[in-house]
Amino acid sequence: MSRPLARLVLLLIAFILLGTVCSLPRAFPPPNPTALPPPETPTETVNTCAFVWASQDLTQLSEQLLKQLKEAELPVRVARASAYGENCVFGDGRIERFVARQTDFYITLEIDTLNNPITLGKLLEQTLDVIDGLPLDKILGSNPGQIGITFRAGDTEDNLWFERTRAKTLREQGLSGAALYQALKEK
């Protein structure tokens, strides 16, 4: 047999074998994408919220603060406690919960004159004593909070705004009266 003929026979045999192999049944039929519906993916609704700064009046603590300031015979006009923290707000506007960071105190004392730092210092110390005497379980949040004291004489005011820890530190350092008042007045 000649060489070109042998090649032709081999090529013919290869095509026959290839055709036979391709027509054999397969173990796994080819997938038919329209034969089965797509699997259902469970959708889980997650109730996540965004935290938004907020404050809430602490009515019971405010009443207790006012009562104790009056019992200490301080010239209190206004006294309130407020928790400062964050509301957990859902996308639809619902508030899930409030998380307090700290409790702040706002006090207004009516006095005759703002020109006597000794009197202002004495009133300041007495006010701090009342705040320090409040039950710890009623003071919300992990931060110590702020204290705002307004001394009002007629139409004139003198405002102090300071951190509770600062007042505590100054008192532990021995400051009292007018010196404490001046130190808290300075920022």
pLDDT at residue 46 tops 90: no
Report the CATH fold assignment for 59-82+102-185. Answer: GMP Synthetase; Chain A, domain 3 (3.30.300)
Q: Above 90 in pLDDT, residue 118?
A: yes
**Alpha carbon distance 144, 140 (integer Å):** 9
- Over pLDDT 70: what percentage of the chain? 76
Report residue 3's pLDDT band, with 50, 70 and 90 as the boundaries: confident
Of 24-28, 120-124, 165-169, minimum mean pLDDT range: 24-28
Res. 4: pLDDT tops 90: no
Question: Which residues, 6 or more positions from 83, have their beta carbon under 8 angstroms from its beta carbon?
Answer: 55, 56, 58, 98, 100, 101, 102, 103, 104, 140, 141
Query: What is the band of 68 on the pLDDT scale with cuts at 50, 70, 90?
Result: very high
Residue 85, classified by CB atoms within 10 Å of its CB into exposed (0-12), middle (13-18) or buried (19+), is buried
Question: CA-CA distance, 183 to 166, in Å (whole number)?
Answer: 10
Can you tell me the distance from the alpha carbon of 63 to that of 65, in angstroms, rounded to the nearest whole number? Answer: 5
Q: DSSP per residue over 106-133, as a string?
A: EEEEE-S-SS-HHHHHHHHHHHHHHHHT
φ and ψ at residue 117, rounded to 5 degrees: -60, -25
